[in-house]
Amino acid sequence: MHAQPTTFSAESYFATQPPPPTLQDDVDKVRLFVEKHAREGRSVVLVTSGGTTVPLELNVVRFLDNFSAGTRGATSAEYFLKAGYAVIFMHRQFSLQPFSRHYSHSTNPFLDFLDIDPPENVAVPPRISVTPNKRTDLLQVLTAYKKVHELGALHSLTFVTINDYLWLLRAVSQEMAVLKRKAMFYLAAAVSDFFLPQQKMSEHKIQSGKGNLSIEMDQVPKILKPLVDEWTPGGYIISFKLETDQNLLLPKARQALERYGHQVVIGNDLHRRKFEVVFVSKTRATDASGTAESFAEDWLRIDLHNNAPAGFAEKEIEEDIIAELVKRHSHWIENSV
Amino acid sequence: MHAQPTTFSAESYFATQPPPPTLQDDVDKVRLFVEKHAREGRSVVLVTSGGTTVPLELNVVRFLDNFSAGTRGATSAEYFLKAGYAVIFMHRQFSLQPFSRHYSHSTNPFLDFLDIDPPENVAVPPRISVTPNKRTDLLQVLTAYKKVHELGALHSLTFVTINDYLWLLRAVSQEMAVLKRKAMFYLAAAVSDFFLPQQKMSEHKIQSGKGNLSIEMDQVPKILKPLVDEWTPGGYIISFKLETDQNLLLPKARQALERYGHQVVIGNDLHRRKFEVVFVSKTRATDASGTAESFAEDWLRIDLHNNAPAGFAEKEIEEDIIAELVKRHSHWIENSV
């Protein structure tokens, strides 16, 4: 697998890597969703969530993955819905989703809170109902869930590989271009920086017993640049920067803003991301000597003082992140003229 | 990351790689579980399920993974429980689990079949109950689930990395040794063949923008050999062989039996595994000229003719796999004297 590395631009990527087979079908559904909410005057946010995979074989047995349960994305989608946004939730298959995220099969399995009620008569199956001490919490989640579905305010679509993700992101953002400044992009997915071009993949499972494994990967093209410049002009775009070395957080966030020219980078440290993030953006100050650009860094922190089950009594930092973004996005829409 | 490759034996692996922090606690719980069922005369099966990860960094952002939702393991565990076995279900965190597997948040979300009943009086929250057309199916699953929990017949423990898996497998199999021939090992997890020793991992997230990614991995030691010979003598051991190239299936299965000396290899092809597997084992024929060893290959196939939701009307191949293994295991127990 020691082939010559190739440098891919977004253009050469899409010219050489095959689209996922369900792309057209996914795009058709997104178009209908966008049209409906454009008609009804709602802002639409694309939330990307979860990690992308890099398959090592065409018949996939092994793949490289990026650590992400999808908590940030699923939680944020819920708060965007609460704030009145229509949400396109583009997530890694089987990662956490809004609403059901409160009932992980591992930590809060729903089978544990169902009671079998004695049957009213032998001809019908017994009723199954939610055990009393779980009702209050579930009622909140279920009511919000049903309301969102009645409104048709949530549209989900899934990706697995980095290739699925890149093709979908381009197509969905192009569909959202009609929304102009009412489109928001909240790119919380953990996207691989590296990939293995189709042309270099081995067809079958790489055999062990023949020594050690050696993998060479190419760099994923930087697609924020065409997203900002070409695919969806006017959209309000937020990207994320996750680091494990605190010292890299601000320099990397500033570098991304410089390079891609979008609106906000939310920086977070792997171990502090549940209670601390930083919003990095550009500000422009005008005085007699002209206009000077600089970076604004706004830290957002919450107290994690209690241990209530996730999503209920405990405060979630996404509540404050989304409140701040909704404010900034409204300002962005108002200033469009 | 181009360090010198090292060849690890099971012994040198455990001497150089650190145990997971929760190991002792996990082992203590397994010991109690095994003691209880040994006392009650039940056979105990260890079912391993899901894929193991190979982290590329100490502060994990990226990892190599093996494709597996955990369907085989979770389904099999359910049939073992039905057959009266006590089950230690050692699975990848967040992979499918027995019972709840029927209600994936993606394909059959439970929030969709809950109704909010009108409240009886304003002071109490309304009741939530399962919508009538979902009751029959759910009742089956829920009844089996409640019975298993009352009996204490299912013990779950989780792994994420290949290192967690190896340490747990050794410790759990050593705890199960007291069961002698009543212990079964159903090793359905998708275990990585390669890993990155702790000593070679980079501390922080590997930075992109510095060219391509190159990873060199070492081979995971073959631990079936010490499992068979040392950790749990007498146990009935089934391993799995997954291939994407049909032609490799039988040769690789036979090779594993020769090499490790366990009882059964179940071979399956990635694309046919839901309806076809092959049991490969050794048979011994004795005649006047002496004893001759050969391989027995028993194919097991089911019809996939209808499209009922998974786990209900549709036949699952694991039902037949487990029936066959229970028969063979009984035979193995009877022949222990």
- Asked if residue A19 lies in contact with residue A159, where contact means CB atoms within 8 angstroms, the answer is no
Strand ranges inside B198-275, DSSP E: 213-219, 236-243, 264-269
- Asked if residue A58 lies in contact with residue A79, where contact means CB atoms within 8 angstroms, the answer is no
For A73, the token pair is: 């994305």
Lowest mean pLDDT segment, chosen from A8-12, A97-101, A230-234, B4-8: B4-8
Q: Do B127 and A135 touch (CB under 8 A)?
A: yes
Of A65, A99, A243, Cβ closest to residue B205: A243
Predicted confidence at residue A182, as pLDDT, reads: 97
CB of B319 less than 8 A from some CB of A: no
Q: Do A128 and B129 touch (CB under 8 A)?
A: yes
- Contacts of residue A131, defined as CB under 8 A and 6 or more positions apart, other chains included, come to A113, A114, A115
Element (H, E) at B35: helix B23-39
Nearest residue on chain B to A190, judged by CA atoms?
A: B61
Lowest mean pLDDT segment, chosen from A62-66, A199-203, B246-250: A199-203
What percent of chain A lies above the pLDDT cut of 70? 92
Task: Name the maximum alpha-carbon separation found in chain A.
Answer: 87
Of A111, A126, A204, Cβ closest to residue B100: A111
Q: Do A216 and B211 touch (CB under 8 A)?
A: no
Q: Quick: pLDDT tens for B153-165.
A: 999 999 999 999 9
Predicted confidence at residue B311, as pLDDT, reads: 44
pLDDT(A312) > 50: no
| Order of strands across the sheet that contains A53-55 | A53-55, A62-66, B62-66, B53-55
Rg (CA), chain B: 22
List helix spans (H) across A53-109. 71-82
pLDDT(A313) > 60: no
**More confident position, A196 or B26:** B26
Q: Quick: pLDDT tens for A28-43.
A: 999 999 999 999 999 9
The CA distance from B231 to the nearest CA of chain A, in Å, is 23
Q: What is the mean pLDDT of chain A?
A: 90
Encode chain B (337 residues) as per-residue pLDDT tens digits: 444 556 889 999 999 999 999 999 999 999 999 999 999 999 999 999 999 999 988 777 889 998 899 999 999 999 999 999 999 999 999 999 999 999 988 888 899 999 998 877 777 778 899 998 898 889 999 999 999 999 999 999 999 999 999 999 999 999 999 999 999 999 999 999 999 898 887 766 666 655 677 778 899 999 999 999 999 989 999 999 988 888 899 999 999 999 999 999 999 998 899 999 999 999 887 778 888 889 999 999 998 665 555 544 478 999 999 999 999 999 999 986 5
CB of B118 less than 8 A from some CB of A: no
C-alpha distances (whole Å) from A148 to each of A37, A58, A78, A80, A323 are 13, 38, 10, 11, 19
Nearest residue on chain B to A116, judged by CA atoms?
A: B139
> From the centroid of its chain, how far is CA B220?
18
Q: What is the three-class DSSP state of A282?
A: strand
Most confident of A80-94, A130-144, B103-117: A80-94
pLDDT(A178) > 90: yes
Predicted confidence at residue A309, as pLDDT, reads: 52
d(CA B316, CA B79): 10
d(CA B73, CA B81): 12
Element (H, E) at A326: helix A317-334
Of B105, B110, B204, Cβ closest to residue A244: B204
CB of A255 less than 8 A from some CB of B: no
Predicted confidence at residue A2, as pLDDT, reads: 44
Chain A residues close to B126, C-beta within 8 Å = 135, 139
Chain A residues close to B62, C-beta within 8 Å = 64-67, 192
> From the centroid of its chain, how far is CA A36?
22
DSSP B125: P
For an interface test with A, the pick among B141, B159, B191, B212 (most A C-beta atoms closer than 10 Å) comes out as: B212
Nearest residue on chain A to B5, judged by CA atoms?
A: A212
d(CA B182, CA B173): 12
Predicted confidence at residue B312, as pLDDT, reads: 46
Q: What is the three-class DSSP state of B224?
A: helix
d(CA A231, CA A192): 21
Q: Do B64 and A65 touch (CB under 8 A)?
A: yes
Predicted confidence at residue A1, as pLDDT, reads: 41
The CA distance from A36 to the nearest CA of chain B, in Å, is 23
Chain A residues close to B243, C-beta within 8 Å = 204-205
Predicted confidence at residue A311, as pLDDT, reads: 44
The CA distance from A293 to the nearest CA of chain B, in Å, is 26
Cβ density class B20-52: b for 16+ within 10 Å, e for less: beeeeebbeebbebbeebbeeebbbbbbbbbbb
Predicted confidence at residue A175, as pLDDT, reads: 98
CB of A107 less than 8 A from some CB of B: no
Q: What is the mean pLDDT of residues A246-270?
A: 93
Of A59, A110, A215, Cβ closest to residue B270: A59
Nearest residue on chain A to B202, judged by CA atoms?
A: A244
d(CA A45, CA B128): 31
* pLDDT band at A225; cut points 50, 70, 90: very high
Q: Do B216 and A214 touch (CB under 8 A)?
A: yes
CB pairs under 8 A between A and B: 200
Chain B residues close to A57, C-beta within 8 Å = 244
CB of A331 less than 8 A from some CB of B: no
CB of A211 less than 8 A from some CB of B: yes
Question: Which residue is listed with tokens 């701040």?
Answer: A324
Neighbours of B265 (CB within 10 A): 27
pLDDT(A307) > 70: no
- Asked if residue B33 lies in contact with residue B171, where contact means CB atoms within 8 angstroms, the answer is no
Q: What is the three-class DSSP state of B293?
A: strand
Residue B94, CB half-sphere, CA atoms under 13 Å: how many? 16
The CA distance from A30 to the nearest CA of chain B, in Å, is 18
Predicted confidence at residue A308, as pLDDT, reads: 52
Chain A residues close to B211, C-beta within 8 Å = 5, 219
